[in-house]
Amino acid sequence: MILAHRIALDPTVEQSIALSRACGVARHTWNWALAQWNKKYEAGENVTANSLKLEWNRIKHAQFPWVSESPKDANQQPFANLNTAFQRFFKKKAKRPTWKRKGEHDSFYVSNDKFRVDGATVRLPVIGSVRMREERRFVGKITAATVSRTADRWFLAIQVETDIAHLEPTDKTIGIDLGLKTAVVCSDGQTCDAPKPLKANLKRLHRRSRQHSRKQRKSSNRKKSQRRLARLHARISNIRRDWTHKVTSKLIHENQVICMEDLNVKGMTANRKLARAISDVGWYEFRRQLEYKAEVYGRTVSVISRWLPSTKTCSNCGCKTDTISLSTRVYHCDHCGFEIDRDLNAAINIHTAGLAGINACGPEGSGSVRKSRTKPCRVEAGTRPRGHSRALTN
Ligand SMILES: [Zn+2]
């Protein structure tokens, strides 16, 4: 499978200017292609990314001679990306592609035949040898790379085709309940709290955003405060990602099967009261990491339907209560008198349902993600497709 390995770069001042320029070329090409696409589409013409690319290649040297000062892929790959974006839009999986703006997701692509990684150095076309903060960890065939900027730091994401040996099988299984009060509650009683970095830094973030909005447009002070703000955002997301990686890795290493609920994250973040707390813990990313790590290490993630009444069912006798309010922290069963922490009760139910789903749906496979539904029983193996877009043929 293809894993992306993201390493911080240490470019010189000249190199970071060249990197910015290459991002500018990629952005300009995307916006040019998008404008053409929209124009032709409205005129009722048949438009493909390949035809646009041919047209671009005809005119680029005359109209935009500066593109040749940056790596070639920076002005070629955007066509493939735009194609993927439109295909996703046509399939109603994504919104319509929009303009790229300077300073937002700045990045450019380099295909595998145009760069070389040698120890802690990467040799990029036109830009030259750039120091990396560490050597790459994954061995295997390099398929491509993307250079990107987060706040004021540069990163190289190397895509490596690798086959990591699966972990020793174990017979331990676990159910997890993702909550707001305690981020992760396991069916064996373990709990794990999220660092809630956003909450802790929220005051500071608000203050900085306010300060930023008062700076005069296009002034150098505004630029400075923009950088400070971006760094704070990056710091918050780093803390969150670090925590998620640690917890998901621990779960994957210790258990053969991890059962979790299929949370409707999109629907729940629409509830403004819950939105901040949910995106602060980062459940969507949590699940994504769990699923890809299961595939890498040969574990199974069993996702149960979100309609299973995991909080309302007694994990001792299986009876169901009608309602349980969010503020009730202890579950009490009227039928058998069992009392248990609300989230732990849910985790145990998720565990039971997840395992039942796997057993009902046939033999247990390794390294798979299953969605078990109580009725009808259906298995969906495999994770969501990864966005490794390939370069279009010339
Ligand atoms: Zn009971």
User: Looking at the structure, do residues 295 and 180 belong to the same domain, yes or no?
Assistant: yes
Task: Answer whether residue 353 is part of any domain.
Answer: yes
| Residue-by-residue DSSP string for 317-336 | T--B-S---TT--EEE-TTT
Q: Among residues of the chain, what percentage have pLDDT more than 90?
A: 53
| Degrees to nearest 5, angle at CA 303 with 191 and 351 | 50
Is residue 266 scored above 60 in pLDDT? no
The Cα–Cα gap between 45 and 32 comes to 17
Same domain, 127 and 257: no
Q: Are residues 241 and 338 in the same domain?
A: yes
Give the predicted TM-score (pTM) of the model. Answer: 0.76
Residue 324 pLDDT class (50, 70, 90 cuts): confident
Q: Are residues 275 and 317 in the same domain?
A: yes
129/254 same-domain check: no
Contact 79, 53 (CB under 8 A): yes
Q: How far is the CA of 319 from the centre of ligand 1 (A)?
A: 5
Q: How far does residue 317's CA lie from ligand 1's centre (Å)? A: 4
User: Are residues 117 and 181 both part of a single domain?
Assistant: no
Domain boundary pick from 161, 181, 203: 161
Number of domains the chain is built from: 2
> How many CA atoms does the CB half-sphere of 48 hold within 13 Å?
5
Q: Which residues contact 4 (CB under 8 A, 6 or more apart)?
A: 157, 158, 159, 160
Let me know if residue 253 belongs to a domain. yes
**Rounded Cα–Cα distance for residues 239 and 242 (Å):** 5
Mean pLDDT of 368-385: 39
Same domain, 184 and 141: no
Q: Is residue 225 part of a domain?
A: no
Same-domain pairing of 129 and 260: no
pLDDT, position 32: 97
Let me know if residue 121 belongs to a domain: yes
Amino acid at 157: A
Each residue's pLDDT tens digit, 27-54: 999 999 999 999 999 999 989 999 999 9
Does residue 223 form part of some domain? no
Residue 230 lies in a domain: no
Distance 320 CA to ligand 1 centre (A): 8
Measured distance CA(177)–CA(349) in Å, rounded:
9
Q: Report how far ligand 1's centroid is from the alpha carbon of 374 (Å).
A: 21
Any domain includes 201: no
Choose among 98, 102, 97, 95: nearest CA to 83: 97
Confidence of residue 264 (pLDDT cuts 50, 70, 90): low
Confidence tier at 128 by pLDDT (50, 70, 90): very high
**Residue 378 CA to ligand 1 centre (angstroms):** 29
pLDDT at 139 over 90: no
Q: Is 303 helix (H, G, I), strand (E, B) or coil?
A: strand
Asked whether residue 23 falls in the same domain as residue 137, the answer is yes
Instruction: Work out the average pLDDT over 112-122.
Output: 93
Among 161, 183, 210, the domain-final residue is 161
Give the Å distance between the CA of 351 and the centre of ligand 1.
Answer: 17
228 is a domain residue: no
| pLDDT, the chain, mean | 85
In this structure, the answer to whether residues 133 and 186 fall within a common structural domain is no
| pLDDT on residue 323 | 77
Say if residue 258 is exposed, middle or buried (CB neighbours under 10 Å; 0-12, 13-18, 19+).
buried
Task: Give pLDDT, residue 364.
Answer: 45
Q: What is the mean pLDDT of residues 115-131?
A: 94
Q: What is the pLDDT of residue 201?
A: 80
Distance 343 CA to ligand 1 centre (A): 15
Q: Does 97 share its domain with 246?
A: no
Query: What is the extent of the structural domain holding 150?
Result: 2-161
What amino acid positions are annotated as catalytic residues?
177, 261, 343
Q: Is 290 in the same domain as 361?
A: yes
Q: Which residue's entry shows tokens 């036109």?
A: 126
